[in-house]
Amino acid sequence: MRLVMIASALGLAAGTAFAQDFGGQEDQDYARQLWQNMEERNLAGEGAVQAFPYPGTDPHGVMLETFYTDATVDGHTGALVIKRNYGPEGVTVDQVLDNRGDHLAAVTVMFRRVEGYAPESGNWFWAKYLPDGSLDETPEGTPIAGMAQGCISCHSTAEGENYLFTTNADLN
């Protein structure tokens, strides 16, 4: 029943199979380690490095900042894409630059895990954090972390083979 509810919430057909328990404790723990890595490197949280925001689209935000780097979690180093999502509708670049904290709605990440983690989706691990580093949740209360089918269904339409709309660079 839980999988059907999650699939429904993400706009997937009933019976869609998940490779693992999306948003389960293992995914939540891994997401916490990833956030901690980002905080330690000033990529998230108080004092995070900043870039110039640019116009975004749903579902991420009206204004975005995107960073490409790598991270090491559980002894594995992989590509890391961090997207800061700003809102609300109508927010301007100047408003974000004046006070990022008032406009930051979420931080979404893609982290390339070990080969074989999720080969059907480029081995990407997705997570959506609230500004305080806690995980955002689906309407049913499932933490958004792991092989997030809603993320995969959209990102699988990106050109190239890296599931990214912003670059075709080979991120290994």
pLDDT digit string, tens, across residues 119-136? 888 898 989 999 999 999
∠ Cα 138 144 149 (to 5°):
85
Q: Which of 143, 152, 137, 149 is nearest to 4 (CA)?
A: 149
Give the percent of the chain with pLDDT over 90.
58
Mean pLDDT in residue range 49-56: 92
**Beta pairing partners, 104:** 86
Decide: helix, strand or coil at residue 86.
strand
CB-based burial label for 103 (10 Å; 0-12, 13-18, 19+): buried
12-26 per-position pLDDT tens digit: 333 333 344 578 999
What share of the chain has pLDDT > 70, as a percent? 76
